[in-house]
Chain A
Amino acid sequence: MAKPPLRFDLAVIAQELREKAGQTVLDVGCGDGALMAVLRDDCGIDARGIEIDAELVEKCVSRGLSVVQGDANRDLADYPDNAFDYTVLGQTLQTSARPDKTLEELLRVSRTAFISFPNFAHWRTRSALLFSGRMPVTQALPVSWYETQNIHHVTIEDFRRLVNERGARIERRWFFSGGEEIGTPGANWRAEFALFEVSR
């Protein structure tokens, strides 16, 4: 069965893991399992997932994926140290109760974490706040402040500092605007989304 194309950040992760057959990946907040299915079918990877939404978990299980309904804020603690080669946190960091603790947990249960998030310092967000004086509602952040799941808005610069403070290392990074990858210069202004590969 042909799969719909992956979201831009997940497509990069799938590309990076293409040669990693036999390795293990935990996708935290795996949604309907789109990335996991590609990792399993196209990359030969042993992929597991955590997802909070029961209906999405059911979708994953009915496509034969191993997904546990749970809350990353609490349930990552179940997994032993270095249980996986990689973890993935796709556009979920900003919804976490404590993003710093989530980062620590990801780097505890895996050697390497792929983490993507919407960049709150993108120029559109900045200008919305600067000129209208209101919380931005943009393509990347489409939900009003009172009902958004994004409780910890973060910028590329904030994330870099957090990783450094915690003694972790940014191995690689990718920036996106309009669903396309863009270059590094001025990324904290220009990127709507960022993806980092972080390790300890």
Chain B
Amino acid sequence: MKPASASNLYAIPGELPLDSGQNLAGAQIAYETYGELNADKSNAILICHALTGDQFVASAHPITGKPGWWERMVGPGKPIDTDRFHVICANVIGSCMGSTGPKSLAPDGEPYAMRFPVITIRDMVRGQVALLDGLGIERLHAVIGGSMGGMQALSLAANWPTRAQRVLVIASTARHSAQNIAFHEVGRQAIMADPAWCDGDYYASGSRPDNGLAVARMAAHITYLSEEGLTEKFGRRLQDRDAKSFGFDADFQVESYLRYQGSGFTQRFDANSYLYITRAMDYFDLAEEHCGKLADAFSGTTARFCLVSFDTDWLYPTSESRHVVHALNSTRAQVSFVELSASAGHDSFLLPHDQLDRVVEGFLNG
């Protein structure tokens, strides 16, 4: 893996306290910004990325060279308009694109590997808030996130209620379900079953648990799509052949696609980061942090909320967004919610969708 590009780096002063009770010393946050910050620092928008996302929301990925993961949404004249807003996107703590994570060097000069403390979504947000403090941004125009990014947006709203005026949560949830945890566990076990994983100490060995990580990605990738989307895209069509091979090659297009997704992923992601971030997501239950009552997480909030779900998303289905909306309604918070129709399942939030664009733009301007 090539080193991450020269994103801006922010060194968190002192120690970052973690939910586990441990502290992370010397942590740094890699982040990108787009658009000018205005004089009174009131036009900042924090975008939180998803599990395998990164800070390159609207600029090319330094390893893959692919466009930013939300370039269709973020940029001049786009729904999140960088002519008007100062957009900040930071790599989360625990990840591998420049922010401190398991592949970073510990104070003893060796990679943390599995010595890295287990982190939570709230710890990631602690990192984001530390960055905002460092940038002198007291109050965000909005915090925005899809999927795991939405979890961070909710966590920020609940735990730092004065920091964001608007909270936009797309295709997300306030808690990981048994099914969500189950899929993540399959991924983690695939990584840990790879002999090259070596209990996480593979950084110096010259080989990495790419096979395990690719399988983890393949399993997860299925959860990001819908049956309808898969059928539309692949059906039972064969890959580069006219007949079944009566073997275990990737006969079907869908197999070939998943293998490609899996192996491509290993080029840009660290297996240990995958373990740590999926763990953080599994631990996420915003109600649990607030004595079991989700509404209490938002009591006294003055932020405006907007939640968006997609009708084919079975990873974080509409009922999970509604659950959050119910809690917000019961605290009389200002909340909007809409279930949009899309065929692509969970991944719909990353794909072109005119209605989503209008909702995002309208919510940010309202």
Contact = CB atoms under 8 A, between A and B. Distances in A.
A67 B335 CA distance: 7
A99 B329 CA distance: 22
A64 B329 contact: no
Interface string B323-342: 00110011010111111110
Contact of B359 (A61, A68, A75, A78): A61
B330 to A, nearest CB: 6
Interface in A107-149: none
Interface string A31-55: 0000000000000001010000011
B332 A61 contact: no
B362 A80 contact: no
Interface string A2-37: 000000000000000000000010000000000000
A97 interface: no
A191 interface: no
B332 A69 contact: no
A57 B309 CA distance: 13
A54 B363 contact: no
Contact of B334 (A48, A60, A75, A83): A48
A171 to B, nearest CB: 24
Q: Do most interface residues of chain A lie in helix, strand or loop, or is the interface mixed?
A: mixed
Interface in B331-366: 332, 334-341, 355, 358-359, 361-363, 365-366
B304 interface: yes
Contacts of A65: 336, 366
Nearest to B334: A66
A66 B362 contact: no
Nearest to B321: A69
B306 interface: yes
A78 B327 CA distance: 8
Contacts of B329: 68, 75, 78-79
| Among A57, A58, A62, A79, residue most surrounded by chain B Cβ atoms (within 10 Å) | A62
A55 B335 CA distance: 17
A79 B325 CA distance: 11
B334 A61 contact: no
Nearest to B366: A64
Interface in B184-241: none
B362 A63 contact: yes
Q: Which of B306, B338, B358 has the most CB of A within 10 A?
A: B338
Given A79-B329, A79-B330, A80-B330, A57 B336 contact: yes
B332 A80 contact: yes
A68 B341 CA distance: 16
B6 to A, nearest CB: 38
Contacts of B341: 54
Contacts of A55: 355
Contacts of A54: 338-341, 355
B332 A83 contact: yes
A64 B335 CA distance: 11
Given A54-B339, A58-B340, A69-B339, A64 B365 contact: yes
Nearest to B318: A69
A69 B355 contact: no
A70 B366 CA distance: 21
A24 B325 CA distance: 18
Interface string B311-329: 0000000000010011001
B78 to A, nearest CB: 15
Contacts of A24: 332
A67 B330 CA distance: 15
Nearest to A84: B332
Contacts of A64: 362-363, 365-366
B337 A63 contact: no
21 contacts: A48-B334, A57-B337, A58-B340, A61-B336, A61-B358, A61-B366, A62-B361, A62-B363, A63-B366, A64-B362, A64-B363, A65-B366, A66-B335, A66-B336, A68-B336, A69-B339, A70-B322, A70-B325, A78-B325, A78-B329, A80-B330
Given A66-B334, A70-B322, 19 more contacts: A46-B334, A54-B355, A58-B338, A61-B338, A61-B358, A62-B358, A62-B361, A63-B362, A64-B362, A66-B335, A68-B335, A68-B336, A70-B325, A75-B326, A75-B329, A78-B330, A79-B330, A80-B330, A83-B332
Instruction: Please name the 6 residue pairs, one residue from A and one from B, whose CB atoms are nearest each other, closest first.
Output: A64-B366, A62-B362, A78-B329, A62-B358, A57-B338, A66-B334
